[in-house]
Chain A
Amino acid sequence: MAEPILSIRGLTRDFGPFRAVDGVSLDIRAGSITGLIGPNGAGKSTLFNLLTGMLKPTSGTVRLNGQDVTGLPPDRLFAMGLGRTFQIPRPFARMSVLENVMLAPQGQRGEGILGPFLAPARVRDQEARIRRRALEVLDFVTLAPLADHPAGKISGGQMKLLELARVLMGAPSVILLDEPAAGVNPALTRILIDKIEELNRGGTTFVIIEHDMDFVMSHCDPVIALAEGRVVFQGTADEARANPVLLDAYLGAMADG
C-alpha cells in the first residue's frame, strides 16, 4: 500500500474526566473516499477537530503526507493541503457567496493592510485572477447564479456546496466533510456526491462523517466505525454490511434514531 495521506497514531482527547477520543490509530489511504460512522457521541466530530487543528490532542500523533502535524493550528493545516467543512455550515453570512470563495486562496498580497496602497496594480491583477477562479469553482458546484447573494440567505444544502467551493480554492489534497448530506434535499445531495466523485477521480482524498447509511455504503470505501472514542471496525462497505456486531450495535442504533 502506498504511503497513507493521513496517519493517526494513538490519538486521544480528554474533556475533563471524559475521554472523547481514545487511542485512535488509523491510516487514511491516499485517493480514497473514507466513510466515518458511529452513533452520536462516538467521537467522530472530535476526531475531525483534532485532525484539522481546531482542538489539540491530549496525546498521540497525526501525520499528513508523512509530516508530523500534531497540534498545528487550522490555518497552517489548510495551507498544507487539508481542507474541512462543518457539520453545521459556517458561511460568512453577511458577505456575498463570491466573496466567501474569494477569501480562501493563500498568499493574497492584498491581505496585508498596506498591500492595496503600496502595490495596487499587483493586488488588482491578483484579485482579477482570484475572481475568475472563484467563479469557475462556483460554476463547478452549481452556485454561480448565486454569486452575488448574501451567503447567509442561501439554503442549508447550498451552504454545504459553498463550503466545498471555499475549500477547493485552496486545492487541498485531502478534504474532511462533516455530515455533508444531513439536512440537504436529495437533488443537492446528488450534486454533492457527483462533485465528490469527480474530485476524487482527480486524486483528492475524502474523509466523510455521515449518518446516511445509503450514502456511506454506496460511496465510501473503506468504512471506519467509531464507538465511545475507539475504532471498532475497519473494512469495506460490504464487510460493514455483513458485520453482525456492527449492524446490531451501531447501524441498528442509528436507524432507531
Chain B
Amino acid sequence: MIGLLSYAVFFSTVASILAIAVLGLNLQWGFTGLFNGGVVAFFGAGAYGTLILGGTPQADHLGGFGLAYPLALAGGAVAAGALAWVVGILTLRLRHDYLAIATFGIAVTFENVMRNAEALSGGAKGFRGFERPLRDLFGDGFAYNLFFFSLVLTLLVAVYLFLERLVRSPFGRLLRAIREDEDAARSLGKAPARVRLTSFVTGSVIIGLAGGLYATFYAFISPQDVLPTLTFQIWAMLIVGGAGNNRGAALGAFLIWGAWTASGWALSRFAPVEAQLYTGSIQYILIGSIIVAMLLWRPQGLLPERLVLSQSGQPVKPRQQGA
C-alpha cells in the first residue's frame, strides 16, 4: 500500500513538473500562436541554471555558487528567460513553421553544447553535486518526496492562477488577437512584435521553472534529459489536453505522462523479450499515434479553448462559460 502511494507521489511529482512546462508552452502556442519547437532548450536552461547556481563546489565543471534554493530556482528560470529573449530577438520575425524549425535547431544546439562544454555542464556524464533543499529535515525517503510534491504542486497552482488571470486580462485578449490575425491587430493600432516577445519570454521562464524543478527532483541533469523527445512529449500533452485551455494543458500532462509510464511498464511486463529492446521506440509510436488521432478527430483537444464572454454588463473581469 505504501509502495503504491509512494509511486503515486513520485508519478504526480513528475507529471506536475511537466504540467508547468505545458502551461508555459500553452501561453506561447495556445494563446499567442508561437510555434516553439525547442521547448527542451528552455527546460534545459532552467535545469542547468538551477543546478549551477545552487550546487556545491565542483572540481571539474562550473557550479558551486551554493545559492539558497529559491534563488537558484528563480535564477534557472531567469536563465531560460534570458535565452528566450536572445532567441526571440533573433527569430520572432519568423512565423509558424519557420519559427518551429529555428527553435528546434536551437534546442539541438543547446543539447550539443551541454554534451561537449564539459567545463560548463559536466559534459555527457551530466551535472552532479547538488544538494536537494531541506534534505536535512526530510531525509531521502517518502517524507522527502511528499514534501517536494507539495512544493511542486504549490508552484503548479501558482503558475496556473497567474496564467488564468493573465489570459483573461486585456493582455490576454491582445495575445489571442495576434494569434488569430497579426495584420488585423496591426491595423487596429497594436504592435505585435513586442507582445510576441513578452509572451515567448514569459512562457520560457515558466518552462525553465519546470526544468529547474525537474533537475532538483533528481539532483542531476544530463544531455540525455534534454533530447528532442521531451519537446515532443510536452507538445503531445498540450495537443491532447487542449491548446488555449490551461486546465486542458495540465490534464494533458497527467494523461500523456500516465500513458507513457503505463505503456513502458506494460511493455516491460508483457511484451516478448525481443520486443523489449525497442520499448522506447514503441512508446514513441504510441504517443505519435495519439497525437495523430487527436488531430484527426478532436483537434481542439479534450478541453477546448472557451470563448471569453461579456457577462452581460457586470463590471467584473470576464468569467468562463461554455462556448
Q: Which residues of A contact B (CB under 8 A)?
A: 52, 54, 73-76, 78-79, 83-84, 86, 90-96, 98-100, 102-104, 106, 108-113, 115-117, 123-128, 131, 135, 147-148, 150, 166-167, 169-170
| Inter-subunit contact B166/A113 (CB<8 Å) | yes
| Inter-subunit contact B165/A170 (CB<8 Å) | no
Query: Which residues of B lie under 8 Å from residue A125 when comparing CB positions?
Result: 315
A93 to B244, CA, bound (A): 14
Which single member of A54, A95, A126, A135 contacts B173 (CB below 8 Å)?
A95
A108-B188 CB under 8 A given contacts A92-B177, A128-B315: no
**Cross-chain pairs A/B with CB under 8 angstroms, 18 sampled:** A54-B187, A90-B184, A91-B180, A91-B181, A92-B176, A92-B180, A92-B185, A94-B244, A95-B173, A95-B307, A95-B308, A103-B177, A106-B189, A123-B170, A126-B170, A127-B170, A167-B188, A169-B188
Does chain A have a CB within 8 A of B171?
A: yes
Query: Which residues of B lie under 8 Å from residue A74 when comparing CB positions?
Result: 183, 186-187, 189
| Inter-subunit contact A103/B185 (CB<8 Å) | yes
A103 to B180, CA, bound (A): 12
Which single member of A75, A86, A147 contacts B190 (CB below 8 Å)?
A75
A22 to B146, CA, bound (A): 73
Query: Which residues of B lie under 8 Å from residue A99 when comparing CB positions?
Result: 173, 176, 308
Does chain A have a CB within 8 A of B305?
A: yes
Query: Which residues of B lie under 8 Å from residue A73 when comparing CB positions?
Result: 186, 191
Which among A73, A99, A102 has the greatest number of chain B C-beta atoms within 10 A? A99
| Inter-subunit contact B189/A170 (CB<8 Å) | yes
Query: Which residues of B lie under 8 Å from residue A127 when comparing CB positions?
Result: 170, 315, 317
A181 to B108, CA, bound (A): 51
Does chain A have a CB within 8 A of B56?
A: no
| Inter-subunit contact A170/B170 (CB<8 Å) | no
Which single member of A54, A103, A147, A170 contacts B183 (CB below 8 Å)?
A54
Interface string of B55-83 (1 = CB under 8 A from A): 00000000000000000000000000000
Interface string of B79-102 (1 = CB under 8 A from A): 000000000000000000000000
A56 to B41, CA, bound (A): 37
Does chain A have a CB within 8 A of B289?
A: no
Query: Which residues of B lie under 8 Å from residue A111 when comparing CB positions?
Result: 170-171, 174, 195
| Inter-subunit contact A78/B316 (CB<8 Å) | no
Interface size of B as a range: 20 to 34
Interface string of B299-323 (1 = CB under 8 A from A): 0000001011110010111000001
Closest beta carbon of chain B to A138's beta carbon, Å? 10
Query: Which residues of A lie under 8 Å from residue B309 when comparing CB positions?
Result: 96, 98, 148
| Inter-subunit contact A123/B169 (CB<8 Å) | yes
Does chain A have a CB within 8 A of B276?
A: no
Query: Which residues of B lie under 8 Å from residue A79 when comparing CB positions?
Result: 189
Closest beta carbon of chain A to B106's beta carbon, Å? 23
A95-B177 CB under 8 A given contacts A110-B169, A113-B166, A124-B316: yes
Query: Which residues of A lie under 8 Å from residue B187 when comparing CB positions?
Result: 52, 54, 74-75, 78, 83-84, 86
- Whose C-beta in chain B lies nearest to the C-beta of A169? B188
| Inter-subunit contact A148/B310 (CB<8 Å) | yes
Which single member of B180, B191, B310 contacts A94 (CB below 8 Å)?
B180
Query: Which residues of A lie under 8 Å from residue B186 when comparing CB positions?
Result: 54, 73-75
| Inter-subunit contact B323/A78 (CB<8 Å) | no
For chain B, residues 178 to 219, give those with C-beta under 8 angstroms from any C-beta of chain A.
180-181, 183-191, 195, 198, 202
A90 to B166, CA, bound (A): 25
A117-B165 CB under 8 A given contacts A94-B305, A111-B171, A127-B317: yes
Which single member of B171, B180, B313 contacts A95 (CB below 8 Å)?
B180
